[in-house]
Amino acid sequence: MRPALPAILVVFCALAVHLTALGNGFHYDDGHSIVRNPHIRNLGNLSEVFTDPAMYSQTPEYAMFRPLVVVSTALNYHTSTLFSDPPGGGYQPSGYLLVNLAIHLANSLLVLSIISQLTASQSIIVFGAIAFSLHPLHTEVINYASARSESLAALFYLAAACCYLRTRLRADSKVWLAASPILFACSLLTKEIAVTLPIALLALDLYVERDSLRGQRGLQLFRSIAPTLKRLPIFVGVLLLYLIVYQQVNNTDLVSTLGPDDAVRSWDSQLGTQSKAIIHYILAAVFPVRMSVYPQFQESPSVVGLAPLLGVSLVTTLYFGAWRLRRVVPAATLGVGWFLIALLPTNIVPLHVLVNDHRTYLSLFGFTLAFVRAGGSLPPSLDSVGLVRIDGLARPSTGRRLEERSVALARCCTPRPAGARGPFQSRPRLPCCRQPGRG
């Protein structure tokens, strides 16, 4: 197979499925973060986004330290202004959704590159990347402009992992080794989920060195992985620097949000709720049907309950099952590990929104790697991709348009299908552009 052919196949499949998203509109957090956000209209104060989290939104209460997201939307606004008809209208949703689609295409190609460095099987490489690019859960980050924070953070995250792998597998490693921490910093400045990258890189290291580590234990194992660990301190240093900057800019820190006074919910409730959330995310990854931007999901009062205990049992079984297969299908073990690692931030830090399907965006790289590699064959029929939808955002991925059309500046829509799928959820019933921004 020619070197460029897999990339062409991945891009062609993704465009064939997702291109119709460009006809969609603004939704939910797009109102306060884009449509009514005055900070993105002036490129002269763009440097202030690195010191003022309030520039993320029109509403100071929704301030978030995600400067590269604000930079991207500001550039999007001014580019849309240049090409809009009539001139001066920087709020054409198609321009923002086009960038979202381009980011997703770039992520799909990064997945192709990473898988190609992990396995020699051309079929696994191509089908893994196509499965990632077409997974129905990804329609949210394409159709929902504000969900760009997830895919843009994943772009830098996956690029950092790709460069790091090249330092392990190529002789000309200095350039790649220098680029990887910079990309990690960019990912952190896009969304907080990137804090897990050092753990993910350690997992990649152990996968690459799996043959030399086989049969070793204790001190002998530590000595074998010591050279590998020497590459990670620079990433830990970048993470510590980010946490210091985060604390100074926000006058707080990530750890304080976990305390009993500032936390959204108690630790007992958080562990119980996110134990159930793991089941939700796994089921959504395997059976992506009846999806909604606000799925029917309730907070758990305690980890001691039937559903949370089932969630803990499922995760434990999944992990140990993958571990037992590490010698037979090591890539599947890596994929399961990646899936769980990428979900760690939302599982640990209590957030106002209990579950969001776009939170699985980065995790789904691990899922597709594990699923396709373990199966050793084609993923489920791509026909099934056309049978699912995300209510309130997009119709089936085969190209039918949004049920809820573009949101005008002075008039917003209410996504009734999302409300029907979550009858006890309050947010789907609020006007789209008046929604509180947490997630």
Closest to 138 (Cα-Cα) out of 153, 150, 122: 150
pLDDT tens-digit map of 319-331: 787 777 777 778 8
* 261 part of a folded domain: no
* 357 part of a folded domain: yes
β-strand partners of 160: none
Which residue range(s) make up the domain with 24?
Answer: 5-213+226-250+269-434
Q: Give the rounded distance of the alpha carbon of 134 from its chain centre.
A: 15
Rounded Cα–Cα distance for residues 239 and 120 (Å)? 33
* 150 part of a folded domain: yes
* 220 part of a folded domain: no
* 258 part of a folded domain: no
Which pLDDT value is given to residue 374? 63
Which pLDDT value is given to residue 412? 39
Q: Is pTM, for the whole model, over 0.85?
A: no
pLDDT tens-digit map of 16-41: 999 988 888 888 888 888 888 888 88
Measured at the alpha carbon of residue 146, what is the angle toward residues 160 and 106, in degrees to the nearest 5? 35
End-to-end alpha carbon distance in the chain: 42
* Overall average pLDDT of the 73-82 stretch: 86
Domain count, the chain: 1
Q: What is the mean pLDDT of the chain?
A: 78
Least confident of 45-54, 154-163, 382-391, 423-432: 382-391
């590159």: which residue's tokens? 113
Q: Provide the sign of the torsion angle of the four alpha carbons 355, 91, 52, 243, taken in this order.
A: positive
Q: Are 119 and 70 in contact (CB under 8 A)?
A: no
* 274 part of a folded domain: yes
